[in-house]
């Protein structure tokens, strides 16, 4: 709720004055340009707020679609790998490989794919963000250090989730039928 700056405590006023609120910016303009009256245009500010909220929602939606596409891509790659190596997996199971070893083989592949994909994605995002920063803002954008482990972790997690179905299919292979040729 709006509170008159004249009725604020010293602490509230300082916090309000140092923020990007439209009213505090208008007050600062009046202080800098003596004799002026700066009044916020609320409909414009509200419209900008709605646009920014919608853009944020769009970015989250695009991120969700990207995550889903990445998981499907990993899943497809892993299924193709399984199809190429069905006889190999059946032979391993026939000579005594347990479920754990089968899971380890495909899970390690998923981890490698996730790590390499995350590393490539992070490096590519560095280049693109610096390019966009220079073209749009005239200065390269700085990325936070926390983004590197987050992007690697997210890509590894996505690849492990994408490997779930292929791992289940590998565990369901019946060696006798595959090796017999059926």
The closest of 77, 88, 150 to 112, measured between CA atoms, is 77
Domain presence at residue 75: yes
In a domain, 41, yes or no: no
Residue 107 lies in a domain: yes
Residue 102 within any structural domain of the chain: yes
pLDDT of residue 65: 93
Task: Give tens-digit pLDDT for 164-173.
Answer: 999 999 899 8
Q: Give the structural domain span for 86.
A: 63-180
Residue 46 pLDDT grade (very low, low, confident, very high; cuts 50, 70, 90): confident
Residue 54: inside a domain: no
pTM for this predicted structure: 0.64
Residues 178 and 86 sit within 8 Å (Cβ to Cβ): yes
In a domain, 10, yes or no: no
Asked if the model's pLDDT at residue 138 lies above 90, the reply is no
Q: Report residue 18's pLDDT band, with 50, 70 and 90 as the boundaries.
A: confident
Q: How many domains, the chain?
A: 1
**Burial tier of 113 (Cβ tally within 10 Å: 0-12, 13-18, 19+):** buried
Does the residue 140 lie in any domain? yes
DSSP-derived secondary structure for 86-132: HHHHHHHHHTT--HHHHHHHHHHHHHHHHHHHHHHHHHHHHHHHHHH
62, 77, 169: which is closest to 116 by C-alpha?
77
Residues 6+ apart with CB under 8 A from 149: none
């Amino acid at each position: 709720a709006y509170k008159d700056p004249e009725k604020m405590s010293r602490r509230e006023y300082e916090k309000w004055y140092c923020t990007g609120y439209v009213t505090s910016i208008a007050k600062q303009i009046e202080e800098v340009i003596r004799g002026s009256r700066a009044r916020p245009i609320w409909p414009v500010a509200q419209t900008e707020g709605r646009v920014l909220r919608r853009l944020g929602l769009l970015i989250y939606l695009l991120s969700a679609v990207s995550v889903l596409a990445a998981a499907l891509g990993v899943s497809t790659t892993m299924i193709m790998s399984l199809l190429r190596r069905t006889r190999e997996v059946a032979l391993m199971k026939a000579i005594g490989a347990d479920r754990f070893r089968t899971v380890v083989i495909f899970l390690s592949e998923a981890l490698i794919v996730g790590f390499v994909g995350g590393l490539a994605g992070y490096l590519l995002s560095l280049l693109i963000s610096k390019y966009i920063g220079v073209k749009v803002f005239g200065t390269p954008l700085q990325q936070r250090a926390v983004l590197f482990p987050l992007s690697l972790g997210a890509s590894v997690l996505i690849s492990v989730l994408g490997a779930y179905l292929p791992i289940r299919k590998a565990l369901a292979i019946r060696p006798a039928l595959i090796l017999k040729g059926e």
